[in-house]
Structure 1
Amino acid sequence: MAIEKACHDFPWSENTMKSCLSGRYFNGAVYQQDTLAGFYVGEVAGPDHTLMDICVAPAYQGQGLAKALLSDFMMASEQAGAENLFLEVRKSNITAIGLYLWAGFCEVGIRKDYYPCVNGKEDAVLMAKTLNFGSENSFQY
């Protein structure tokens, strides 16, 4: 929760975080010198996986840990047989969008007024990546 609160102006609640520790959710973490430096939360929805949250503590940002977490999310999803990956990201989060583009995600839509922000609401960019390119159900970009 400390990392979640440090990374987001509008963090998840403790109840939301606790609910994402079992069931259809899976998680990954990265440590620096035995200290939790970052984590992600993924969700399984049929053949698709969604990156629900990814955070790196401010003291550890800029060291490639988000890239490592995202790579772990994609690898875990692929090993589980996921076909497509999805995520939403704040339209203003250019750094994260760049990371997702680097990883092969493509913009597939906009969710209007999705995220709360200081001045009301902010749009989310919906992004997707196909893992199973041989599938006839794969996204065509």
Structure 2
Amino acid sequence: MNTLKTSPLPVRLCTLRESHLDKVMEIERRAYCFPWTRTIFRNCLQSGHLALLMKQGRNIIGYGIVNITRKEAHLLNICIAPEQQSHGLGRSLLRTLIKLSCNSGAQCMFLEVRPSNTVAIALYHSEGFNEIDRHRHYYPAQNGYEDALVMGIEFS
């Protein structure tokens, strides 16, 4: 689908399929204290959501899932393997998901993010997202629940 130049091997994007879920689940568990379940991923795939896989050589290093409805895109999950982070891969994946959402007729994208995930928030701000709301007690956390910042961007 798409190839990015990084070292040592180029990174490419392709459609995430159910056959990839073992590796995706492995990354999800390493990246998050409260990971998605296989059932959630499977439901997203069965629902026809835009689901991309990022690979470097034969290695799966990231993924992103977007639900596109009518004129809106909802970024449900975006993740880069922890050892591959801080190299611009998340930014590249986000930009591709935005472009594909826009090409599918979406006029805006929104997402939820933990306030404690300052790296992701900085990325979203740098790509033009703004904070538009807050959902209280949205995410499970070590000591109960954590709010979610709702962020959005309008496509021009």
Judge same fold: TM > 0.5, yes or no.
yes
Aligned with 1:84 (options 108, 118, 127):
108
1:20 partner SS: helix
User: In the aligned structure 1, how far is the partner of 2:121 from the partner of 2:96?
Assistant: 17
1:111 matched to which residue of 2?
A: 135
4+ aligned runs moved over 3 Å, structure 1? none
In the TM superposition, what are the counterparts of 1:7-22 in structure 2 within 5 Å?
7-22=31-46
- 1:28 paired with 2:52, answer yes
Higher helix residue share: 2
- 1:62 paired with 2:86, answer yes
Give TM-score, length-normalised by structure 1: 0.90
Give unmatched runs, 5+ long, in structure 1.
134-141
Aligned residues: 132
User: In the aligned structure 1, how far is the partner of 2:69 from the partner of 2:103?
Assistant: 15
Residue 24 of structure 1: CA displacement? 4.1
Aligned with 1:95 (options 101, 107, 119):
119
CA RMSD of aligned residues (A): 1.0
Residue 21 of structure 1: CA displacement? 1.1
Give unmatched runs, 5+ long, in structure 2.
1-24
User: In the aligned structure 1, how far is the partner of 2:32 from the partner of 2:152?
Assistant: 22
User: In the aligned structure 1, how far is the partner of 2:86 from the partner of 2:126?
Assistant: 15
2:34 partner SS: coil
Give TM-score, length-normalised by structure 2: 0.81
User: In the aligned structure 2, how far is the partner of 1:19 from the partner of 1:101?
Assistant: 29
1:1-22 Cα offsets, whole Å, 9 max, x none, are 1111111111111111111113
User: In the aligned structure 1, how far is the partner of 2:62 from the partner of 2:48?
Assistant: 21
1:72 partner SS: helix
2:20 matched to which residue of 1?
A: none
2:97 partner SS: helix
